[in-house]
Structure formats: C-alpha cells, structure tokens
Amino acid sequence: MPDATFLDSTELVLNMGPQHPSTHGVLRVILKLDGEKVLGTDCVIGYLHRGVEKIAEHRTYTQFNPYVDRMDYVAAVSNGLGYCLAVEKLLNVEAPPRAQAVRVILTELNRIASHLVWLGTHALDIGAITPVFYCLREREEALKILEKYCGARLTTHAFRIGGLQYETYDGFEQDVRDFCKMFVPKVDEYEELLTNNRIWKARLVGVGILSAEECKEYGVTGPVLRASGVKWDLRKAQPYSGYEKYDFEIPTGANGDTYDRYIVRMQEMRQAVRIMEQAVEAIPEGPIMGKVGKVIKPAVGEAYVSIEAAKGELGYYVVSDGSTQPYRCRVRPPSFVNLQALDRMIRGGLIADVVAIIGTLDIVLGEIDR
C-alpha cells in the first residue's frame, strides 16, 4: 500500500489545447490528474481576444453592429438581436411588428443551426461519427434561408437598429414552412441514433452533474441551467421581440447531468420549430423599420438588455454619453460565465469525461474571448 507522499508524486499535470479538436476552438485546459481521475483544472482563455468592447467605443452604433456577429459566430443572429434591442432600448424605440416576427423566425432558425453544430461536434467528441454528417446536412438548409435573406451564411448582420434592412424575399414563408416540415422528422432521426444508444448513455448519464443551486452560484444559464431543473427562459420570463405571442414550452431536465442537457437541447430544437411555425403564419404587414434617424444618437443614459441566446443569457450593457458612439459597450457572454463551472463539473471525474463536459457546455471561444 503506497503512502501519501508516494501518491502525491504520481500527480500529473496535463496540458490540453489550445490546439485540440475537442476544445471547440482555442481553449487551453490545464488538468491536474491522479491516474485517470481529475483533481482540478485551470482554464486559460483569451487566445481569440480581439478587443470587441474597445472597438465598440471607436465605432458609431451602426458601424459596430456587424462586429457583434463575430462573437458567437455559430449563432450570429442572436448576437445581432441582443445588440439591436439594447440600442433600441436606449433610443426608446421598438421595431415594428413585422420586423419583430421576422427577427423571431431568423433567431429561432439560427438557434437550431447552433444546436445542430453542438450536437454534431458533441457526438463526434464522444465517438459517434454519424450524427455530425446528419446535423451539418440539416444546418445547411437553415443557412440557405439565412443566405437567401441577407446574403451571408455565418456572420449574417441580419438586423439593423430599429428593425430590418431587407424585406423578406419572395417565397421566404414557404422556405421556412418547408424547413419546419422537413426538420422535425430529422430530430426524431437523431434521437433514434442517440437517445437510447447504450454507448451514448454510458458516456453521458451521471457525468458532469451540476445542481440547480450550483448553477445559480456560478451564474450558469441557458440549456445547462434548465437541465438542472430550473424552468427559466428569458423568452418567457422577460419576453422581447414579441415572444409572448407564441405558444411554446420550456424543456427542463431533472438530474443536471450531460444526458439531461442533451435531452433539453433536443427538445429546444422542437420548440424552436414550433415558434417558427406560429410566427411564419402570422407575419403582420407593415413597415420593417422603426422611427430611427440615419444618425443613431441616444440620449445620455445606460441600459442593460439581455436575450436568451442559444447558449444562455446574452447581455449588453450600453452606456451612452449622448454622442454617436457608445461610451461603453459591455457584452455579457453566456459561454464565458458557463465555462467557469467547468472545474466544478469535472473535478473528481475521469479524464475521458473532460471532452464530454466541454462539449455539453456548448462554448464558443469567439464569445468567451471577444
């Protein structure tokens, strides 16, 4: 029986990343190991830091709009929505109903695209290769609609402060309807591959448990919070952009483990389709741009506005000094805050679970580092 000092000497520090395919970008995790057991972690981030908040102070409100797409580039439409809503709040204007409905459709479409990237890569990390091909196939269909609407697939710059730049193209509604009809059976297909798959369950059930209390302590939001049993979604709690008009459920889990988070996100994709189906049938007629001047110049003041992005609460704290440029534009990224809980989730687990837990957090480094 080895004594304690001997055990200490077997402690191994292992570096993972920043160039590692399973860290979903440039995340570096320093793992302290005892054999296969993880004793602790330290995350090193900032490799993708571009100073977005600094750039905001040197651009006009309108010029800064495309920059926000480069944060969570997997769900760029949500970033744009959050930013536009924050500046609209400062201006005290609201986008017209038609613009709001189109915004909801595109944001939900983008939520699906984001969840599909998560599902594909998460499954790939765990060793299931097939789902990623399926997921990217359907994501392509979602991106096609975005591309037809605004010309870009990833960094869409879809919304403008006050509403929309472009009217919907001919056949937009039909494309969205077709997508919804096509997509629900595909979710069934993914679930058939994974939900009752013994290997999948063996790798996910009971891994990386985070209780509801811990989630609140760490400020974790989004699907991770809901998987721990907290029925909280900003689209319901503090509706924006007309979400109160649509009928949808907030899926929750019970155990707060990686498997529950998988189930919650699968359900969320179905709910997103539900919202889109309702929204597309009720796009009101009317203008697409609110009463916003050519030069955006909010009164002196500040506002914190947040939305439910695919990863959690995405907040913008914008301070105006009455000029045409934001005096300060703070972005509260969900991935940054959620990543902090990584250490709590991994500690005591096995090294093989590390990639499963990084995957289940659904982080995007562009948003963490900004």
Structure tokens at 343: 């250490």
DSSP string, 305-352: EEEEETTEEEEEEEEE-SSSSEEEEEEE-HHHHHHTTHHHHHTTSBTH
**CB under 8 A: which stretch of 77-85, 241-249, 313-321, 345-353 binds another protein?**
313-321
Dihedral, CA of residue 203, residue 209, residue 212 and residue 218, to nearest 10:
-120
Closer to another protein at the Cβ: 276 or 342?
Answer: 342
**CB under 8 A: which stretch of 51-59, 133-141, 168-176, 271-279 binds another protein?**
51-59
Does 293 help bind another protein (rule: CB under 8 A)? yes
Does 370 help bind another protein (rule: CB under 8 A)? yes
Does 51 help bind another protein (rule: CB under 8 A)? yes
Given a contact cutoff of 8 angstroms between Cβ atoms, the answer to whether 63 and 48 are in contact is: no
Which amino acid, one-letter code, is at 273? V
Which amino acid, one-letter code, is at 89? K
Considering only residues 19 through 48, tell me which ones interact with another protein, judged by CB under 8 A: 45-46
End-to-end CA distance of the chain: 50
Ranges of H-type helices in 219-298: 223-227, 234-237, 258-281
* Residue 186 host element (H or E): helix 172-194
- Binding another protein by CB under 8 A: which of 21, 284, 322, 348? 322
Does 54 help bind another protein (rule: CB under 8 A)? yes
Does 324 help bind another protein (rule: CB under 8 A)? yes
Min separation Cβ 280 and another protein, Å: 29
Considering only residues 89 through 108, tell me which ones interact with another protein, judged by CB under 8 A: 89-93
Does 323 help bind another protein (rule: CB under 8 A)? yes
Task: Give just the sign of the alpha carbon dihedral 156, 359, 40, 343.
Answer: positive
Closer to another protein at the Cβ: 66 or 219?
Answer: 219
Cα separation of 144 and 140, whole Å? 6
Does 219 help bind another protein (rule: CB under 8 A)? yes
Min separation Cβ 306 and another protein, Å: 7
Task: Give the neighbor-by-neighbor strand order of the sheet with 312-320.
Answer: 301-309, 312-320, 326-332
Residues engaged in binding another protein (CB under 8 A): 45-46, 49, 51, 53-55, 57-58, 89-93, 216-219, 230, 232, 237-238, 291-304, 306, 313, 315, 317, 319, 321-324, 327-328, 330, 332, 336-337, 340, 369-370
